[in-house]
Amino acid sequence: MGSAGRERRNTLKCGGLTLIELLIAITIVGILASLLLMSVQAARESGRRGQCASHIRQVGLAIAAYESTYRVFPPGLSEHGGFHVAILPFLEQDQLHDQLITRFQAGNYGPFAELPRIPVLQCPSDGAIAMEGGGAGTNYAGNCGVWGHDSDWDGVLVYWVHYSNTDEVGPVRLADVLDGLSNTCAVTEILRANGTPDRLRVNWNTPQTFKDIDAFAERCRTVPPHPEQYGWKGNRFARGVPWTDGNVGYTLYDHVLRPNQPSCYNGSGVGDAASTAASQHKGGANVLFADWRVEFYSDDVDLRVWRSLASRAGGEAK
């Protein structure tokens, strides 16, 4: 072969890619694309988390406006629904408020398909699809205390009506918050029910009834990843739904368990529950305090600290 042929062959050999080089290049491109996608998703979630905090802050400002007007915190539950109904006029929803009050005064508590979805009552990080039949929900639940069964509804958004012989404890005034507004939770995030058996979207029934908070907490905490496969029963349609219902387990929550752990009825007794804070944010949930600031609390917050933040009076940590 002449020198010209050898030179042409060497040029072709040097200018191409081997299979291994091509695979390495594809792998690097894939890794870079994956990192870019993760960065985009993280940025989007950061934006959603910020918007979620903004929404819960707006709910707090509406509660503050209610308190400034009536000199009491709004009812967690009254004959006119939950606290979300009470604060509607302070969210520029006067007409809807009046329509709901008229409905409740007539003894009609739903469900009703025309209940509107109110964006400020929902966290954009929670992609739960609204259920049919009046299933408009909220991601923001009011603090009714450590555990109603054990602590006599010692939060700031509590029952103003009789659910049992001891449930009527409202209204709550600023002067009743002995722990201080900056040390007492008012509202946190929950994950809305969507009809699925998602472990954190259902109020599960513990197999037995407990009188001790720690025994109840431990049994609820150990709800398995796919509860129904292990015989657990629960209410798939309650958490935050509808947003007009002020019962614990619906739009009231407590501090039996840390954030992002399961919610349980104590046996089958609706009203006696571990109704737990939860969110789609990684590692915790937004919390609105009674002084209207918002903080992010971790899933691994000390349980004694978490319970102490629930009570308006102090001395509640177990």
d(CA 145, CA 151): 7
Q: Is residue 196 part of a domain?
A: yes
For residue 35, is it within any domain?
no
Q: Does residue 14 lie in a domain region? A: no
Between the two ends of the chain, the Cα-to-Cα distance in Å is 92
Q: Does a cis peptide bond (omega within 30 degrees of 0) precede residue 171?
A: yes
Mean pLDDT within 163-182: 82
Question: Which residue type does 10 have?
Answer: N
At residue 41, the 3 state secondary structure works out as helix
Cα distance between residue 54 and residue 50, in whole Å: 6
In the numeric block, the tokens 């449930």 are attached to: 167
CA-to-CA separations, 174 to 1, 126, 159, 251, 315, in angstroms, rounded: 99, 32, 16, 21, 18
pLDDT at 294 over 80: yes
Q: What is the pTM of this model?
A: 0.83
Half-sphere exposure of 238 (CA within 13 A, CB side): 23
Tens digits of residue pLDDT in 188-231: 999 999 999 999 999 999 989 999 999 999 999 999 999 999 99
Residues 6+ apart with CB under 8 A from 7: none
Give the count of beta carbons closer than 10 Å to the beta carbon of residue 34: 10
Q: CB count, 10 Å around CB of 207?
A: 11
Q: Is the pLDDT of residue 155 over 50?
A: yes
The structure tokens 């007409």 sit at 95
Over range 299-317, report the average pLDDT.
86
DSSP label at residue 248: B
Residue 267 pLDDT: 86
Residue 216 counted as domain residue = yes
Q: What is the pLDDT of residue 112?
A: 72
The 10 Å CB-count burial string (b at 16+, else e) for 248-275 is bbbbbbbbbbbbbbbbbbbeeebbbbbb
| Tokens 């009674």 belong to residue | 290
Over residues 69-108, the pLDDT tens digits come to: 999 999 999 999 999 999 999 999 999 999 999 999 988 8
What are the DSSP calls for 56-76, one per residue? Answer: HHHHHHHHHHHHHHHSSPPPS
pLDDT surpassing 60 at residue 6: no
Q: How far apart are CA 33 and CA 89, in angstroms?
A: 48
What pLDDT sits at residue 315?
52
- Evaluate if residue 290 carries a pLDDT over 70: yes
Range of the domain at 282: 50-308
Per DSSP, the three-state class of 140 is: strand
Q: Is residue 74 part of a domain?
A: yes
Residue the block writes with tokens 């903004």: 54
**144 compared with 15, residue with greater pLDDT:** 144
Check whether 123 has a pLDDT greater than 90: yes
pLDDT single digits (tens) 16-67: 678 787 778 788 888 877 777 665 555 565 677 789 999 999 999 999 999 9
Confidence of residue 269 (pLDDT cuts 50, 70, 90): low
Find, among 317, 318, 298, the residue nearest to 308 by Cα.
317
Alpha carbons within 13 angstroms on the beta-carbon side of residue 211 total: 0
Tell me, yes or no, whether 198 lies in a domain: yes
Residue 72 belongs to a domain: yes
Is the pLDDT score of 283 beyond 70? Answer: yes
**Structural domains counted in the chain:** 1
Q: Is 21 part of a structural domain of the chain?
A: no
Distance of CA 259 to the CA centre of its chain: 9
Instruction: Give the pLDDT confidence score for residue 12 in this predicted structure.
Output: 46
Given a contact cutoff of 8 angstroms between Cβ atoms, the answer to whether 208 and 258 are in contact is: no
